[in-house]
Chains A and B, each alone.
Chain A
Amino acid sequence: MKIALTGNPNSGKTTLFNAITGKIEHVGNWPGVTVEKKEGDVKQALLSGGESITVVDLPGAYSLSPYTSEESITKDFVVNESPDVIVNIVDAGNISRSLFFTTQLLELGVPVVVALNKSDLNEKKGTVIDTLLLSEALKCPVIETVATEGSNNGLASLMEAAVGVKGKKQSAPALRGSRKAETREEVEAVDKKRFALVSDIVDQVERRKINSSKQTTQDKVDRVVAHKWLGLPIFAAIIWVVFSVSQSWLGPVLADLFVGWIDAFYGVVEGAIGDNVNPVLSSLLLDGIIGGVGAVVGFLPLIMVLFFMLALLEDSGYMARVALIMDRFFKKIGLSGKSIIPMIVSTGCAIPGVMATRTIRNERQRRTTAMLAPFMPCGAKLPIIALFAGVFFNDNAWVGTSMYFLAIAMIIVSGLVIRMITGDKSVSYFIMELPEYRFPSLKRAAVSMFSRAKAFIIKAGTIILVCNAVVQLLQTFNWQFQVVAEDMPGTSILAALASPLAWVFIPLGFGLWQFAAAAITGFIAKENVVGTLAVTFSVTNFIDVEELALVGGGNEVMGVFGIGAVAALSYLVFNLFTPPCFAAIGAMNSEMESRKWIWGAIGFQLGTGYVLAFLVYQLGTLFTTGSIGSGFVPGLIAVGAMIVSVVYLIHKNNKTASEAVLKAA
C-alpha cells in the first residue's frame, strides 16, 4: 500500500519520513527544504506483519486551495497517484493553523491519519491537547508522535493506524457548500467557515499555559540576531567560527592523521609493485589514481567538520533568521528573502540549490536566483578553498569566511546588474515562517555529516578517479603517442590542449597550462581542480605543507606552483565564480526554461569569474609590490570589453523600455 506524507512546511515531514524508512534525506529546521517528492519503504521493524508500505514525502503546503499554485504538488499527487492513506503531519504547537489543511485533506475521499508531531515540545510548554476529542471532532485517528526520538516515538502506532484505515470511508466534518464552491468568492466563503470550524475544535481540545502572542525568550534572541546592525556581524562571526574550527583548528589535526594513512597506502602500493614496472604504468597508478584521488580525499576530514557544523546551524533554526537579515539587501536588487533559501542550500550543493528556486513565483526572480545561487561555495569547492588556504595562507579561517561573504557580495552586485539588463521593476513581498529555535542535535548532525562524507567518497572514487587517470595519461604522452621527456612536460597532449587557455589567464596571474587544465576539469566536478593540480604538479599531499616544500626541492611553495599568494587568491576566486559544474548547469537549464537565459547565465558567470580574478590579481600585485601584474593591458581590454557589452545590454533594454512607453502613450 502507498502512504502520502503531507503537512505544513517545517512540521517535520522529512524527519518523520527518515524515521519510518531509515533513509537519510536532508532535513533542516526551516521551511522549504523539500522541493521534490521522495519515496521510500517503511522499515520492517515498524510493520506488524502484513504487506509492505511505500511512503511518499511531499513538499510542505499550507492548503489545497486552488489559488495558491505553489502548493499544488500535494493535490496533483493525491488526484493522480491515489495513495491508499494520507498521513497528515500536524505541528502540535500550532494546530489552530495546521488543522485548516487537515479539514481540506479530509474532503479528498482518501482515509486520513493525523500525526500530532513535535508533541514533546508541547509538554515542555505546558500545552495539553485532548487527542481523543480531536479524533472525534475530525472523525479520523489522531496519533501523537515525536519523529526526532529514536524510540517511544509513536511511529509504530501511526503505521498501525494507517493500515487500519486503509479502504475505510471517513466522513469529513460537515462544511456546507464546500463541494459546490467554484468561484473565488465561494471558495473563500467556505474557507472562512473552515477556519471557524477549526477554531471551534481548537477551543475544545487545546489548553495552553503560554499565550503564543506574548513575548518569549525566543523573541528576545530574534531581536539580537536579526538586529538591523548586529545581524550581519553576528552571521559573519558564526561563519568565521565554523571556518576556524574546520580549517584552522580541528580540521587540520584530523586531516594530518588521515593523510598519513593515505601516504602509508601509497607507500605500500609503491613497495608492492617494486622497481621493475613500466614507469608509465606505475605513475598512472601511483601519481594519477592514488595520488590524485588521495589529494582530494585528504580534505575529507576538513569538509566533514565543516558539514557537521553547518548541519548544527541548520538544525538550530538560525538559517531562517539569516534569510530575514538578508532580505533587506536582496530587496535592493529586486530579489527577496525567498531567494536566500536556494543560496543557503547551495552551500551544500548547487544542484538542489538551483532546484529550490522553484518555490519562487516571479519568473525573473526565479531565473536570476538560479543564475546566482551557484556562486555560493558548494561542498565541492571547499577542497579548493582548503587547498589554497592551507598552502598559501597558513590555514587561515579568514580565507573561507571571506569567500562566503565575497560570494554574497557578488550575488548582490550581479543581481543589480541583471536587474538593470532585464529592466524588471516588480516589487515583491517576503513572508516566511520563523521556526522555533531548538538545541541542535549532535546525532542528527553526525548522520547528515556521514551521509555527505559518503557521497564525497563515492564521487572521489568514480568521476574524480577517472578524470585523474585521463589527465595523467594526457600529460604522459605527446601527440605522437610517445612518452614525454621528463624535462619537457610542456610537450604533452594536456599541455598542448590547455596552453591556449593559459594565455588568456596571464592577466589573471596564473598563465600556466597546469592551472588552465585544472580549471577545465573543474567544470566536470569542482573537486577535479585539486586532483588535476596534484597530478600535473606531482604533489600528492596538500595537507602537510612542510612536506610540500620538500617536494619542490626545499624551495618554497612558490617554487612548486610557480605563482605567488596573490595569484593563488586570484585563481581561487576564478574557480569559485566561473560557471559551476556541468551537472549544476544542467539543473540551471531545466529551472530557467529559456535558452537565452541559460547562455546569458554561463556568459555572465564566466565574465564575473574573469573580471573578479583580474581585479584581485592586478590590485593585489599593485598593493604588495607597487607595480602592476603581468598582462595588464590585454587583460584590461578584455575586462573593458565585457563591461561595455553589459552596459550595451542595459542601454538596449532601457531603450526598448522607453520605446514601449512611447508606443503606449
Chain B
Amino acid sequence: MKLNDAALDKEYYVSAINACEEGMGEFLFTLGCFPGEKITVISQVASSYIVSIKDARYSIDENLAAAILVEDSSLATLAV
C-alpha cells in the first residue's frame, strides 16, 4: 500500500519506490529509504507527512508519500 494509507506510529517496511522524478529514488536511497528498510509515519500535518527513517525526521509531501510503497512489518517477517 501507499505510505499515505499507513497508520501513524506503526513501523512498516518499504516495499518499493515509484518516484517518477529522476534522481529521487536514488536520493531516498541515500537517506536509507529503500525496499526492506523500516519507515514510521509520525504525524500528518498540513498536506505533508512527518516520517522517521533511520533516526531522522523528514517531512515529505503527499506526492512523494504516494510514491513510497510499504507493507506491514508482520507480513514482511513472515515472508522472510
Contacts and interface: CB of A to CB of B under 8 A. Distances in A.
A joins B in a complex: yes
Interface of A: 62-63, 65, 67-70, 93-97, 100-101, 188, 191-192, 195, 212-215, 218-219, 222-223, 226-228, 231, 320, 323-325, 327-328, 331, 336-337, 361, 427-434, 436
Contacts of B7: none
Given A62-B31, A65-B30, A97-B31, A432 B58 contact: yes
A213 B56 contact: no
Contacts of A328: 46-48
Given A97-B54, A429-B63, A434-B57, A68 B23 contact: yes
Nearest to B37: A195
B70 to A, nearest CB: 13
Interface in B5-47: 9, 11, 19, 21, 23-24, 26-32, 34, 37-38, 40, 42-43, 45-47
A327 B31 contact: no
Contacts of A93: 55
A341 B9 CA distance: 29
Given A67-B26, A68-B23, A70-B23, A434 B55 contact: no
A171 B47 CA distance: 46
Nearest to A212: B55
B45 A231 contact: yes
Interface of B: 9, 11, 19, 21, 23-24, 26-32, 34, 37-38, 40, 42-43, 45-48, 50, 52-61, 63-64, 67
For the complex of A and B, 4 pairs with smallest distance between CB atoms:
A63-B30, A226-B45, A67-B26, A429-B64
Contacts, number: 131
B19 A429 contact: yes
Given A223-B45, A325-B46, A96 B55 contact: yes
Contacts of B47: 228, 327-328, 331
A639 to B, nearest CB: 34
A324 B63 CA distance: 14
25 contacts: A63-B30, A65-B30, A67-B23, A97-B31, A97-B53, A188-B29, A195-B32, A195-B34, A213-B38, A213-B40, A215-B42, A218-B57, A219-B43, A222-B42, A324-B45, A328-B48, A331-B61, A430-B59, A430-B60, A430-B61, A430-B63, A431-B28, A431-B59, A431-B60, A432-B59
Contact of A68 (B19, B30, B67): B30
Contacts of A429: 19, 21, 24, 60-61, 63-64, 67
